[in-house]
Structure formats: C-alpha cells, structure tokens
Amino acid sequence: MRSAWGTARTAGPPPGPARPDFWRSPLRGPWLTSVLGLVLLAGITILFVTGLLSYAAYNPDLAAVNDQTPDKGWLGFYLFPWPTSPYWLYRVTQGVHVTLGIVLVPVLLAKLWSVIPKLFAWPPVRSVAHGIERLSLLLLVGGAGFEFVTGILNVQLHYIFPGSFYTLHFYGAWVFIGAFVVHVAFRLPKALRAVWPRPGEPAPGTQDAAGLVSPRPAAPTISRRGALGMVGLGSLALLVVTAGQSVGGWLRHTALLAPHGQDPGSGPNGFQINKTAASVGIRPSDIGPDWRLTVRGAGRQVDLTYGQLLALPQSESSLPIACVEGWSTPDQRWSGVRLTELAALVGLGTDTPQVFVESVQRGGSFRSVVLRDNQARDTRSLLAVRVNGAVLSHDHGYPARVIVPGAPGVHNTKWVTRLAFGEQA
C-alpha cells in the first residue's frame, strides 16, 4: 500500500479538477480570498454575538418550556436575565442578525468560489496534520452552509428540515463557530499580509500563492476589484429587499424576502403575524363566551370572564412585536390590564414574581412560556385586550394576549387562558 501511495504521488494528480491548470480564472488569488475572508470575519462575528443575544432573550434557564435546546450544558455559560429596557432591544438585535445573515450570502458564495481549487488539492491528505486541517475545513464549510440555509428557511417560515429549528440552529452554530475560530487563528496573519499593498499576486506554485493562482490563467474580463464590486452590489440588493421587514416605514414595501402568505389585512389589526388562529387549531369554542382567564398564585385562584377582565382598570403601552424570523412591527398601541394588577388579585401585586403563561393553543411550539419577574413587574407589560383602539382580532390573540417590552414575539403569548404567578409550569 505504501508503494502504491508513493507511485500515485509521483504520477501526479489525475486529469480534471485536481490539476492546478484546470482552474483558469485570473481572479483567484490570495488578495481576493483574503478580502472576502476579512469581510466574513467581521460579519460572522456580529452574527454570532446577535445569535447569542437572541437565545438569551428566551430566558432558557428560567423554565423548560422556554428552552427548545435541551442539554445545552456549558454552552449556556453566558446567559443573563433578559431586560425589558430598551423596549426595542430584541427588534434591533434580531433585525441585525437576520438582515446581515442574508446580506452576507453573496460574500460567502464568492469566498467559497475563490478557494474551490484547494478542495481538490492533490494528494487529498499529505500528513496527519494536513488531514486534521482538511477535516476542520469540512466542518467550517459544512457548518456555514447549514447555518445559512436553515436560517434563511426559518425567515421564510419553511420548516422543511427534520427537528426543531431552534435546536438545529443552536448546536450547528457552536460547531461552526468552533471551526471558524480555529480557521481564523491559522489564516488571519496570512490574510492580513495578502491584502497589504503589493505589486501583484504571487507566482503560481509558490507558497504565497496558496494554491489559488492559476498557472495557466485565461484572459481577464474583469478586474479583481471589479469582481469585489459585483459581490458588494449583490449584497446591497439583498439589503434593499430584506431590511424593510425590520426597519419598517415605507421600506416595508421593499421587503420582498419577508415572510408572505399571511395577509393581516388593514385597519387597527392590520400588522404582521406569524401564526393564525386557524393554523394552530384554535376553535370558536376555545375563545367564545365560555372562555375564562384563570389567575393563580400564593395559594389563591381567581377566574375571570371576558366581561370581568374588561371591567378591571385598563392601561396602555406602545410596543412593537419582533420575531426570530427578523420581521418586526412598528410600535402598536396596546390596551389591557397590567400583569402587576392581575398578580394583585391573588395577593402578589407588591413584588410580582415570575409568571407561567398558558394559551388555549393545543399544539406547536411556545404554546406556554414563563416570564421573568422583571418582565412581569414592568408597568408596560399587559394582558392586552385591544390594539390601536380596536378589539384584538382572532389572529392577534383574541380574547387576550400578553405583550411585554423587549420580549421575542413568541413570548407575547396569544389566546391566553391561564396566568400562574410564582410557578414554572
């Protein structure tokens, strides 16, 4: 076997992509690859940080119903109680996460194109160290593809992958970032040297060429800077058709990549939704005249009809809804009963504890949630019954829904039937 391996190495690479002259683009080289890599270094760092913040916003250490990623262990080392101020915090962090992720797609594709000759390097494995390096590249490229694809599918509400998006995306992110850190540690010094002004690309076959410069390049039809400009234009176009779903205003009409197919209509309830009453099996009897709100805590229980809930002191809050898919609404004017006043019905109004919120929704993710005490105590946190002066529509959570400043959209539970203060589930 050793003799056969030596003969194969002596004979050189087989015909096809394993041969350096197969790749003839004059654009490939350390400079272009390094520039694209440095852009991805900055962008992916921001993506990872905002992704961690998104996970923290779910308060996963508070209760099992908040956490779709069991057995996270030390991967949750950084978690902290998610604040309610500024109230637009999640809208900004998740908007940046999703928009930037889509904007970086052309950069990622261009970077993969620029290094594709190295994927066919001959021999495939030259040593144990080289084999480990190529394995790390497999995790890096595979992890990047997995994270970007699942993220984009989630933005479009296309849950065609097996298992929970939260679990897959969370663990996939840690695998990817591990390979990414290793890759950066080895490649960053070379990338910085490659972008430093120099007369031109290194000669083919030299160490500086890094296996990227073609020994038999075709005639150029565009400069490297021109190619970089085209990638930038692609990213700019994606920014234009994506950012509006988070920025709002007139830009919302340009958000061609925002989730579609669930038209909220016009009027006071005419703003974005991610799940309709019909899609989660809400029946007319669930939210009809027999609906009751159960408030529990400190060994006491109060059951309220819809009319009795309306008779309680009503307050107003102007808050947006922001979802993990990246879309958000402008501030909506909500009115309803403060969570602190509902807690007072069972003797817990002074120091309102955490609260378990349950919906009449029977299936699906996040039919219930636990809100932290700081969320329950915030005077802007309501069990809302009206929005923009009108009764909640069925799709927006009639007869009552939670609205909490700074919380992810799925924690603003709709079709609420039970509030249990001081309980986890």
Q: What's the pLDDT tens digit per position in 149-205?
A: 999 888 887 777 777 888 899 999 999 999 999 889 888 988 888 887 665 666 665
> Tell me, what CATH number does 380's domain have?
3.90.420.10
Q: Give the model confidence (pLDDT) of 369-397 as tens digits.
A: 999 999 999 999 999 999 999 999 999 99
Are 220 and 344 part of one and the same domain?
no
3-state secondary structure of 356: strand
Are 30 and 116 part of one and the same domain?
yes
Which of 250, 269, 304 lies at the terminal end of a domain, its last residue?
Answer: 250
Q: What's the total number of domains in the chain?
A: 2
3-state secondary structure of 167: helix
Most confident of 12-21, 206-215, 319-328: 319-328
Are 157 and 306 part of one and the same domain?
no
Are 240 and 363 part of one and the same domain?
no
Most confident of 12-16, 42-46, 160-164: 42-46
Neighbours of 293 (CB within 10 A): 20
Tokens of 261: 């197919």
Neighbours of 246 (CB within 10 A): 22
Confidence of residue 344 (pLDDT cuts 50, 70, 90): very high
Position 229 scores a pLDDT of 95
Are 363 and 234 part of one and the same domain?
no
Q: Give the model confidence (pLDDT) of 191-210 as tens digits.
A: 888 887 665 666 665 655 66
Are 200 and 332 part of one and the same domain?
no
Name, in order, each residue with C-beta under 8 angstroms of 366's C-beta and a sequence gap of 6 or more.
65, 410, 411, 413
Are 126 and 90 part of one and the same domain?
yes
Residue 5 belongs to some domain of the structure: no
Q: Is 208 exposed, middle or buried (0-12, 13-18, 19+ CB in 10 A)?
A: middle
Higher pLDDT, 43 or 216: 43
Evaluated on CA atoms 204, 207, 208, 212, the torsion sign reads: positive
306 within 8 A of 291, measured Cβ to Cβ: yes
Residue 320 belongs to some domain of the structure: yes
Are 109 and 222 part of one and the same domain?
yes
Q: Tell me the angle at which helices 224-240 and 30-57 cross, rounded to the nearest 10 degrees.
A: 20
Which of 250, 269, 286 lies at the terminal end of a domain, its last residue?
Answer: 250
Position 200 scores a pLDDT of 64
Residue 263 belongs to some domain of the structure: no
Residue 61 belongs to some domain of the structure: yes
Are 83 and 218 part of one and the same domain?
yes
Position 118 scores a pLDDT of 83
Residue 4 belongs to some domain of the structure: no
Position 146 scores a pLDDT of 93
Residue 272 belongs to some domain of the structure: no
Are 140 and 282 part of one and the same domain?
no
**Rounded Cα distance, 308 and 1, in Å:** 84
Residue 268 belongs to some domain of the structure: no
Are 229 and 330 part of one and the same domain?
no
For the chain, report the end-to-end CA distance as a whole number of angstroms: 62
Residue 10 belongs to some domain of the structure: no
Higher pLDDT, 281 or 137: 281
- Per-residue pLDDT, averaged over 78-105, amounts to 95
**Distance from the Cα of residue 137 to its chain's centroid:** 23
Are 80 and 180 part of one and the same domain?
yes
Position 209 scores a pLDDT of 62
**Residue ranges making up the domain that contains 357:** 278-421
Which of 234, 250, 266 lies at the terminal end of a domain, its last residue?
Answer: 250
